[in-house]
Structure 1
Amino acid sequence: MTKAIKKQALGRGLSALLKDPDNDIRSVEDKNADKLIGSILEIDIDAVAINPFQPRSNFNEEALQELATSIRELGVIQPITVRKLDFNQYQLISGERRLRASKLVGLTTIPAYIRIANDNESLVMALVENIQRHDLDPIEIALSYQRLMEEIQLTQEQMSDRVGKKRSTIANYLRLLKLDPIIQTGIRDGFISMGHGRAIINIEDHEAQADIYHKIISQNLSVRETEALVKKYQEGQKPTAPKSKKGTSFAVAPSHQKTMTEFFGANVEVKIGGNGKGKISVPFHSEEDFNRILKLLQKG
């Protein structure tokens, strides 16, 4: 078989340490603990409980089946990491995809690194290792950062040291959690990217966020186009400067500007003079676009 399978077999002799209830190893001070910690041992797969601190909540079934096929042919190349709870009882720290895939192919044992840690250490290890090694979606990463800050009481600077990321990077992920839940789901499902989310977050109003999100989906907007759309929205929300000229001029409400822009599907420009007169400009980019606008007017 492969070198990976042989490497796993090395832990089978040490596994006998875990089968002796009279000399159960529960702390680093216990006899033979030094042989246990840091070694790869084969443990009963049914003795491993899922870690409640696991940040990943979505598992792609197709990818899981592919991993299961690989494990069936090559074995578990990278051992999972577990925390010892009690005699023949473990809690997963990292490697849930490997554990799930191993169960799919009917394995009864699985290679594992054994660690003895308290709950806080387990949480830190689980979150940090998952952030660094797995392709979590941006929202899962953000939730992991948030949980580290809340439950372990870490600042962004301290978290930066723990996970090896810039503080600004961590802050950008955390800001995604301010997005409307619909948009967060869109990021998790891959409909839009983190770049789209970072552009939308510059708008505080959740209803407006949702409107822009739907435009991104329906018009297949790039991140740059989304940024331009957000900028346009923000400019439309700025209060109009008071006119110094005498006359009967008035200001166009942002909602009216938005209504016209949405109706024509173009950046409508409204100019008003000091006497209250003005003009409305509707740009078009091609003959096809011109005909589209013309049809809208004819329908009106």
Structure 2
Amino acid sequence: MPTATADPKRRALGKGLESLLPQRPAAAPPPPPTPAVAEPTGKPLEIPLDQIDRNPYQTRSHFDEAKLSELAQSIAASGVVQPIVVRPLSGGRYQLITGERRWLASKKANKATIPAIVRQVSDEQTLEMTIVENLQRADLNPIEQARAYQRLSNDFKMTQEQMAIRTGKERASVANFLRLLRLPESIQQKVESGDLTFGHARTLLALDSPEAITAAAQKVMALSMSVRQTETYVQGLINPEAKEKKESKADAQPEDPNVREAQDRLRRTLGLKVRIEDKNGKGRVIIEYSGLEDFDSILTALGGD
């Protein structure tokens, strides 16, 4: 049986048709998919960490690196227990609202995703939620709290009463934190670092000039004064006459010679300043000490360990 061969004319005809018919353009590659933004559902979703932006309203500026590392180790072992809260942005991204420590620690633990609750909230609500979370967790130092309240006031025109209602604090407390921003910048830094407490700072505000506040704060820190000692010291600066009168009264000898003799005997025995305040057979014995050695001497004299 003869073998079939292709007809040269047929091949030519096919080639001619191809040359006559217009060529279809190659199909363009499909565009890359746009990351889908999760709809607010109130339920935790696993969201990639690299799609989450830091909260621009974050009021906390300091994080304890040691505690952050501990949290990262816990997350690496057991995951994130409490979801963070984010809000959707354009381009498939999210903005952190609350949970920055968990977000940072998850990055430190080399996690790819983090459980998050998506909420559709305004800038004002974002700032409120950030402040409230930090205040409730006591994560802010006094100056950070003061700046947070100031931001609510400046950015959203809230009154102290409104801020107190929104954050669940007393109005007087809000006012006291805001007053801290009247401190000189160098003293604010000492409060922020923990060298001075909120009580110290509030007491120093009774002084009338930045120079007086700075000088007093330096002495308070140098002598490691307690808040109560600071109050006495500041009152002495404000009213030196009252201080002198109080000191002269403290140095006055008891009227009863027996009480006076007992006071002198205690002073000689302890080698410390002792004052007995007696009224009709009732009163108190005040022993002043200036260090741990003196305190140990008092305990030993009283039969303590």
TM-score by length of 2: 0.66
Q: Which has the larger radius of gyration?
A: 2
Amino acid in the other structure paired with 1:65: S
Distance 1:205 1:22, change over 3 A: closer
Aligned runs of 1:204-223 on 2, under 5 Å?
204-223=208-227
Query: How much does 1:24 deviate?
Result: 5.0
| Aligned: 1:57 with 2:61 | yes
| Aligned: 1:156 with 2:160 | yes
Query: How much does 1:268 deviate?
Result: 10
Distance 1:189 1:268, change over 3 A: farther
Q: Is the Cα–Cα contact under 8 Å of residues 141 and 192 in structure 2 kept in the other structure?
A: yes
Q: Of the candidates 52, 74, 77, which is equivalent to residue 70 of structure 1?
A: 74
| Aligned: 1:176 with 2:180 | yes
Query: How much does 1:127 deviate?
Result: 2.0
Q: Of the candidates 228, 231, 247, which is equivalent to residue 227 of structure 1?
A: 231
Distance 1:85 1:199, change over 3 A: same
Give 1:130's aligned residue.
Answer: 134
Deviates more, 1:158-167 or 1:121-130: 121-130
Q: Of the candidates 35, 44, 47, which is equivalent to residue 43 of structure 1?
A: 47
Q: How many residues align?
A: 220
Amino acid in the other structure paired with 1:202: A
Counterparts of 2:185 and 2:52 in 1: how far apart (Å)? 33
Aligned runs of 1:15-54 on 2, under 5 Å?
21=34, 24=37, 33=39, 36-54=40-58
Query: How much does 1:231 deviate?
Result: 0.3
Q: Which runs of 5+ in 1 are unaligned?
A: 1-19, 26-32, 239-256, 258-266, 270-284, 290-300
Q: Of the candidates 83, 89, 93, which is equivalent to residue 93 of structure 2?
A: 89
Displacement over 4 Å in runs of 4+: 20-25
Query: How much does 1:152 deviate?
Result: 1.0
Counterparts of 2:97 and 2:56 in 1: how far apart (Å)? 9
Amino acid in the other structure paired with 2:174: I
Q: Of the candidates 176, 185, 189, which is equivalent to residue 189 of structure 2?
A: 185
Query: How much does 1:21 deviate?
Result: 4.7
Query: How much does 1:134 deviate?
Result: 4.2
Q: What is the SS of the residue equivalent to 1:213?
A: helix
Give 1:198's aligned residue.
Answer: 202
Amino acid in the other structure paired with 1:129: E
Counterparts of 2:51 and 2:138 in 1: how far apart (Å)? 24
Query: How much does 1:120 deviate?
Result: 2.2
Amino acid in the other structure paired with 1:195: G
Q: What is the SS of the residue equivalent to 1:225?
A: helix
Per-residue CA shift, 1:180-209, capped at 9, x if unaligned? 111111111111110000100111211111
Per-residue CA shift, 1:248-290, capped at 9, x if unaligned? xxxxxxxxx9xxxxxxxxx899xxxxxxxxxxxxxxx75x99x
Percent identity, aligned pairs only, is 42
Counterparts of 2:213 and 2:72 in 1: how far apart (Å)? 40
Query: How much does 1:133 deviate?
Result: 2.6
Q: Which runs of 5+ in 2 are unaligned?
A: 1-32, 250-271, 274-288, 291-305
Query: How much does 1:23 deviate?
Result: 7.1
Amino acid in the other structure paired with 1:73: A
| Aligned: 1:145 with 2:174 | no
